[in-house]
Structure formats: C-alpha cells, structure tokens
Amino acid sequence: MSATRWLAAAMIAALVAALLWPLAGVAVLAGQRCVLFLPLAQGEPLALTWRHSVAGIEVRDVFTRRGATLYLLKSHTPWLAAGLGEVPGRGRLVGTSGHGLAILDIDEPMAGLPLRVGSTPVDHRLHHRGRVYGLSTEFAGQRLDLGVRNWPRARAWWGCSG
C-alpha cells in the first residue's frame, strides 16, 4: 500500500472513530425517544429550574455527573414553600444573598431523574453551558426521564431523536 493510500485510510479510520467514540452526558427521554442530549463533563453543573406551583417562587436544583451517575448537589429557593425544605441528613440549609435559602452538600446519587413536567406557568427549564432549554412548552403534563448516557459523538452532535 502506498503512503498516500495508507494516510487516506488512516484519516478515514480516525474520522469514523471520532464520530463513533462515545460522549457522556445527560439524555432527556420521553418514553424511549431521546428529545435532548447535553454533553456533561465530570463535575460540570447542570441546573433544573421551575416555579413552585403554589407559591410561584423559582427553585433551582443543581446536578453534576460523576462517572455514569447523576448527583444532586444543591437546591436554591427564596424561601421554603410546600414540599421544599431541609431533610435531616441530606445537606445543610444556609442563607444566601438576597435573603434566599440554599440546601448545600446534598451530594445525592440519582439512578435517574423522572420528571413530571409542569405547565407553562411552572416553566421547567434545563440550564447547560449558558443555554436554557425550556421543557414545559412541548412536554407539559408528560413524564421525562433524565439520566447519564454514553452516546456516539455523531448522534450527540446532530441530535438524539429518531
């Protein structure tokens, strides 16, 4: 094989490997269909925000990936409304600037996160790398499952549905 052919074959093999090499991140599934894939490096934050359905306050939960597991790290809220608050042995409650509250050091592994998406006023949103992904407009009332997955890079780059 000539050097040119060998180089061309090596470049094609490298391109195929790059496209198929898995990329870890959080997949958002509606049933068995992937509707969103967010690449997530080890320790990188991913936030889920929504408005409390009774009090109307914004709640922000922050997650990260460690290996193949999603971890809930902390939760922020202006005050503790129904269903919110500190659970003994699960993080520590602290005051934040602007008279808010945070539960820090939760560090709870999640096998996955089933999410019943709220209506438009609840406005469930994912925040990742400076972008916001609204879930309530398209998926209100539906169950979505968030979990760590490894996807071929090509599928992650070009979308995960289908």
For residue 162, name the pLDDT band (cuts at 50, 70, 90): very low
Q: Is residue 10 part of a domain?
A: no
Specify the 3-state DSSP secondary structure of 98.
helix
Residue 83 has pLDDT above 70, yes or no: no
**Exposed / middle / buried, residue 130 (Cβ in 10 Å: 0-12, 13-18, 19+):** exposed
Q: Which domain holds residue 108?
A: 24-157
Q: Using CA atoms, how far apart are residues 84 and 61, in angstroms rounded to an integer? A: 11
Q: What is the pLDDT of residue 17?
A: 59
Q: Is residue 1 part of a domain?
A: no
Q: What is the pLDDT of residue 154?
A: 66
What is the reported pTM? 0.79
Q: Residues 105-121: pLDDT tens digits?
A: 889 899 889 999 999 99
Q: Residues 15-65: pLDDT tens digits?
A: 655 556 678 999 999 998 999 999 999 999 999 999 987 767 788 999 999
Q: Is residue 16 part of a domain?
A: no
3-state helix, strand, coil in the chain (%, to 5): 20, 50, 35
Q: Is residue 101 part of a domain?
A: yes
Q: Is residue 162 part of a domain?
A: no
Number of domains forming the structure of the chain: 1
Q: What is the pLDDT of residue 84?
A: 57
Q: Is residue 56 part of a domain?
A: yes
Q: Is residue 13 part of a domain?
A: no
Q: Is residue 28 part of a domain?
A: yes
Q: Are 124 and 53 a contacting pair, CB within 8 Å?
A: no
Residue 123 has pLDDT above 60, yes or no: yes
Q: Using CA atoms, how far apart are residues 97 and 112, in angstroms rounded to an integer? A: 31
Q: Using CA atoms, how far apart are residues 114 and 98, in angstroms rounded to an integer? A: 31
- Going from the C-alpha of 135 to that of each of 29, 44, 61, 131, 148, the distances in angstroms are 12, 21, 15, 13, 18
For residue 91, name the pLDDT band (cuts at 50, 70, 90): confident
For residue 161, name the pLDDT band (cuts at 50, 70, 90): very low
